[in-house]
Chain A
Amino acid sequence: MTRNKYVVAFRIGFQSSLEYRFNFFLSLLSAAFPMIVQYYMWTAVYANAGEKDVFGYSYREMIMYTILAAVVSKLVISNIESSIAEDIKSGGLNKYIIQPIYYFGFRISSYIGQRLMYFTISLCIILALTYILNTFYSLKTEEERILIFCLSIILSVILSFLISYAICACAFWLSEISYFFVVTSLLINMMSGGIFPLEIFGERLQQIFRLLPFHYLIYFPVNVLSGKISGHQIWQGIMGQGVWIILLLLICHLVWKRGMKRYLGLGG
């Protein structure tokens, strides 16, 4: 019986994700702390501001954003940089060069396998939180909005993988890379609205961020679900995600092609 090699990579990824499942639940728990800080901080802010909107958000919208963004940021974060960089640095790519398998295909299959269970659980948590928040604040999220959110979050996960994969190619040029990934992931989290909504950065910076793909990772899907983005803006956003996925596929192809020319294959 012949088995598709990418299906096997997917299955191995899925099995490895089951190994440290308790660790995953604890990492979800860690998302609760920034959520609590921001909840109390925004409550104090709105207690001062009264009924007024702050950064264009009502109190309910801000709380919803804070809670959902914390979980979504855990969901879309890829964490593949160090293992790919290790392959590049220690010559681990050698075996993929001589084997009849595309490294990109292997990585994305393994990544989907690794994230599938966490993705499903996180999605259930997000939907449960949305239901609780809606009940608490007497709001309603339409079924179509939930479906569009699911679509946008799938595109966000793909986008996140491609951004990380493109950044990983820097390991072909840089000697010390581990610190670099810490900085890039932090900056991406900030620019994608994972810490605060992008409105706090002011109009000018926000316009710059809109030209980049990062706001499609957290800011866009969260605001789709909370109802802050509506009408044609939703479809514009989905189109934007699609366009960036295509662009990043192209960027990944080009940078990895150039990077492979520099690859020395030491070790392995």
Chain B
Amino acid sequence: MNFVIEMRRHLYILMLFAKNSIISQMEYRANFVTGIFVEAAFLVAKLLYVVVVYKTNIHIDGLTPDTILMFMGTHILLTGIYMGLFFNNFQRLTEYVRTGMLDLMIVKPISLQFLVSVRHIEVGMPIPNIIAGSIMVSIGWSASDIPFTLLNILLFIIFIFIATILTYCIMIIPPLLSFWFVNTSAASEISYSVWDANNMPKLIYNKWIQRIGTFIIPVFIVTNYAPLIVLHKLTKVEMVWGILAPLIFFMLIRMLWKQALKYIAVQTCNFGCLRKGEEESL
């Protein structure tokens, strides 16, 4: 019961954050439009892979270019979701740590992890990715002769939701490292590279890369499992892992978050003691 109340409260606050973000972004319309253009440019770079897939008529383990398009569309769709929900917040998290803003946020009567993860929801930037990703999935879906049933749509949406949780777990790691290290730009660069490397079906990689990308850093679940489930190519083991993975990785991230907070608390305490000592010596 308590869990349901808390869930409802957090959902209500999430809606308030979204409303607040839209209002603040409408204030700076030029930035809003520029954000869309920037993402459109990144989308063009991603679409180069689609050009290669169709021009070379590549077939991967029985997947036709149309089916591959569905995987690429899912990747672009998830990129849009990530840009909308988390990107802005993760960028700011590093700044919160560096400027000491996090110390002020701790006192707010809400889960700190929730607050820093979804406080600033981006509306403009995800638009090109979400539109292009949805169109690509639709084209790939229809061209691959996947039945357009309610069950298939529901399964696809469930695995997109699972992918969103895993996206959160993977992409929050570099900003979390900023609790320990000052400059984490290269770690972020690596995470973006890993993310972009996920734009092709996992079947193009060898078995070891597939295992690492599924069980250790579960990026392949993000892009592959939603199309694979509707293509009836997801094995039972993969299906179970697809359901367990978000729970396991979210718990791991929660533990890492608590460790990071403990570290910050110790640093703040040390700094406070140092200041007190300095003041006393004066």
Contact = CB atoms under 8 A, between A and B. Distances in A.
Indicate, yes or no, whether A interacts with B.
yes
Contact of B189 (A30, A176, A180): A30
A48 interface: yes
Contacts of B30: 175-176
A33 B189 CA distance: 11
A195 interface: yes
B110 interface: no
A27 B51 contact: no
Interface in A90-138: none
A65 to B, nearest CB: 13
Contacts of B59: 44, 48
Given A26-B187, A183-B41, A187-B41, 10 more contacts: A29-B186, A36-B205, A48-B57, A176-B34, A183-B37, A190-B48, A195-B48, A196-B48, A200-B48, A200-B55
Contacts of A196: 48, 52
Contact of B199 (A25, A30, A37, A186): A37
A36 B209 CA distance: 10
A187 to B, nearest CB: 7
Give the interface size class of chain A: 35 or more
Give the interface size class of chain B: 35 or more
B190 A200 contact: no
Nearest to A20: B183
Interface of B: 30-31, 34-35, 37-38, 41-42, 44-45, 48-49, 51-52, 55-60, 183, 185-187, 189-190, 192-194, 196-197, 199-200, 204-206, 209
A37 B190 contact: no
A183 B35 CA distance: 10
B42 A186 contact: yes
Question: What 7 A-B pairs are tightest by C-beta distance, nearest first?
Answer: A26-B186, A33-B193, A30-B193, A33-B197, A30-B189, A23-B186, A179-B34
Contacts of B199: 37
Given A176-B34, A179-B34, A190-B48, A26 B205 contact: no
Contacts, number: 94
A209 to B, nearest CB: 13
B145 to A, nearest CB: 21
14 contacts: A20-B183, A23-B183, A23-B186, A30-B190, A36-B205, A36-B209, A37-B197, A37-B200, A41-B58, A41-B204, A45-B58, A176-B31, A176-B34, A196-B52
A182 B205 contact: no
A26 B190 contact: yes
A81 to B, nearest CB: 14
B58 A30 contact: no
A262 B59 CA distance: 56
B177 to A, nearest CB: 11
Nearest to A196: B48
A180 B197 CA distance: 25
A217 to B, nearest CB: 16
A179 B125 CA distance: 11
B205 A33 contact: no
